Amino acid sequence: MLFKELGLSEPILKSLEELDHKEPSEIQEQAIPMILAGKNIMAAAQTGTGKTGSFVLPMLEMLNEKAKPYAKNAHALVLTPTRELAAQVRENVHKYGKFTNIKSTVVYGGAKIFPQKSKLKKGVDILVATPGRLLDLVNQKAVKLDRVQILVLDEADHMLDMGFIHDIKKIIAMTPSTRQNLLFSATFSPEIKKLAQSLGEDIIEISAQSPNTTVTKIKQMVYHVDKNKKNDLLTHMIKDEEWDQVLVFSRTKHGCEKIADYLNAAGIKTGTIHGDKTQGARTKALREFKGKFFQVLVATDVAARGIDISNLPFVVNFDMPTYPNDYIHRIGRTGRAGQEGTAISFMSVDEHKFLRGIEGLLKIKIDQTSHESFKPNEKPSVGGRGKPRSRGPRGGKPSFSRNRRSSDSKPGGSFSKPGGSNSRSTTSKARSTGNSNLKSAGNSANKPYNKKKGSKPKTSWKKN
C-alpha cells in the first residue's frame, strides 16, 4: 500500500516523498483512515514503528482546510510525558507539514515561559505540550482549551507512571466533550484502558502487534556481571567490538555522570541526558550524539521516550530497569522503522527480580550469558549458618533483643526507670564490696514518684 491510498492530499504526500517515506507502516495503515473518518481510537504500537506519524499525518490533513484558530486557542492538543518526546512530536509536525499552512508550537518545562506565551498569542493549529507546563500556561491565561477539536495522549502509560493522571484529568475537563480522542502507547495496562474508557464509550482499540511486545528484529541479550565490573565490561565491549554509536541507560542521574566520567577517562567520547540538565544542554547533547560527535550517550528513563535516532545500532541497559514497561521503551530506541538492532542488559546478582518481571510481561525468555573476562563472583550475603543477617536501618546490627528495649542503649533513653541501670550496677557492686552506704541509694531509687503536680522524679547518680 502507498500513502496516497490512505486519503492524504498532495502537500503532505510531497513532504513524505521528500523524506523518502514510501510505504506506511502497519500502525499507519490502520490508524490513518480511521482518524480521517473521525473515529476515537486507542492504539498499541511498538516504539519505532511510525506511531507518531500515524496521528500527525491525519491531523495535518484534517486541519489544513480549517479556519485559522482564535487567539490563544488551539485546534489540536498533543500531550506527552517528557520534553524530549514533545520536541520530537513537534519536529514531526514541522517536517510532515512543510508544504501546508499549519501553524504549531511546543511548550514544556525547563524552558523560559515568556517566549512560549508569545507564540500562543495568535493561536496555533497544533499545540504539543507536557501536562505541567500546559497547566501553568492555562493558569496564566496564556492559552485556552475550550475549542480543542482533537486530543492526543501520546505515551499515555508513561504519563501515568510519572504521576500525571490528575493533571491529565484536569486538562481533559477543560476541553469540549465533542472532541476526537486519540490515545497512543507502546504498552497497555489496565490503568490505560480505564483512562481510555473515560474518554468515551465509542473508542476503538487497534494494535499493530500483540500489546506489550518488542520489535522482533531487536536482538536481546543479558550479561551476568558483578556490579563493580559493569564499567569495565562496557568499556571493553565498546572498544573490542568497535561500536561507533551506543545509547546507555542508567537508573539514576548520578549514575549517568559516573558512567560518562569513566568512559571519557578511557578515551571514549561520552555525553549525558538526565533531569538535572537544562533543556538547552539536553538538546545539544542529543544533537551531538546524532551527529556522532561522540560515541556514547548515557541517559535516564526520563529521556527514553523522546530519543529518535535513525539506525541506532546498540542500546545498553547498564542498570536493569525497575519497571518492565521501561525495558520496552529503552530497547525501542534501536531497531526503528524496520531496521535491525541489538539490546544488551548488564545484570548483577541483585537485579534478577527485574529480569523476571520483564520476561513475565513480554512472555518470552531472554538469552543470558557472561563475558569470559568478566564472569561474576558476587553471591547473596548470608550469615554464618546460611541465614540472612539481620541488619539495622543503617546496615549495622540491631540494638534490640527480646527482653531489652532499643532505646535503653541510647543516651538519655526515656524508657528506663529513674535509677534503673545505675541502681542495678551499684546494687551489684554493693553486694561484692559490702558497702552499706549504697543500700540507701538503692532504696531511694525504688521510692514512688512524687505525685505533686509539676514535680519530676528524683534520680540518684553515682559519679564515676
| Cα–Cα dist 343/332, whole Å | 9
C-alpha cell of 216?
522482533
Q: Is the pLDDT of residue 35 over 90?
A: yes
CB atoms within 10 A of CB 464: 3
Are 318 and 258 a contacting pair, CB within 8 Å? no
| Cα–Cα dist 133/311, whole Å | 32
Predicted confidence at residue 266, as pLDDT, reads 95
What's the whole-number mean pLDDT along residues 270-280? Answer: 86
Range scoring the smallest mean pLDDT among 147-156, 213-222, 287-296: 213-222
Q: Is the pLDDT of residue 424 over 70?
A: no
Strand-by-strand arrangement of the 246-249 sheet: 270-273, 296-299, 246-249, 314-317, 341-347, 218-224, 368-369
Banded pLDDT at 46 (limits 50, 70, 90): low
Predicted confidence at residue 304, as pLDDT, reads 57
Q: What global pTM score does this model have? A: 0.63
Strand-by-strand arrangement of the 74-79 sheet: 104-107, 124-129, 74-79, 150-154, 180-185, 41-44, 204-207
Each residue's pLDDT tens digit, 111-130: 899 999 999 999 999 999 99
Q: 69 phi and psi, to 5 degrees?
A: -70, 155
Banded pLDDT at 173 (limits 50, 70, 90): very high
Mean pLDDT of all residues in the chain?
A: 81
Q: Is the pLDDT of residue 216 over 80?
A: no
Helix axes 51-63, 10-18, angle to 10 degrees: 150
Does the 218-374 domain belong in CATH 3.40.50.300? yes
Which H or E run includes 46? none
> Residue 98 has what DSSP assignment?
T
357-370 as b/e: b if 16+ CB within 10 A: bbeebbeeebeeee
Each residue's pLDDT tens digit, 329-370: 788 788 765 678 899 999 999 999 999 989 888 888 999 999
Range scoring the smallest mean pLDDT among 38-42, 51-55, 72-76, 204-208: 204-208
C-alpha cell of 235?
568499556
Q: Is the pLDDT of residue 150 over 70?
A: yes
Q: Is the pLDDT of residue 220 over 50?
A: yes
Banded pLDDT at 444 (limits 50, 70, 90): very low
| Cα–Cα dist 304/295, whole Å | 18
Domains of the chain by residue range: 3-207, 218-374
Contacts of 240 (CB under 8 A, 6+ apart): none
Residue 391: burial class (beta carbons within 10 Å; 0-12, 13-18, 19+): exposed
Each residue's pLDDT tens digit, 69-104: 999 999 999 999 888 889 989 999 999 999 999 999
- Give the residue from 171, 160, 17, 162 showing the smallest Cα distance to 96: 17
Q: Are 3-207 and 218-374 equal in CATH topology?
A: yes
Give residue 376's identity as a one-letter amino acid code.
P
Range scoring the smallest mean pLDDT among 17-31, 208-222, 308-322, 418-432: 418-432
Please state which CATH class domain 3-207 belongs to: alpha beta
Q: Is the pLDDT of residue 159 over 70?
A: yes
What's the whole-number mean pLDDT along residues 174-194? Answer: 85
Q: Is the pLDDT of residue 439 over 80?
A: no
| Cα–Cα dist 234/125, whole Å | 46
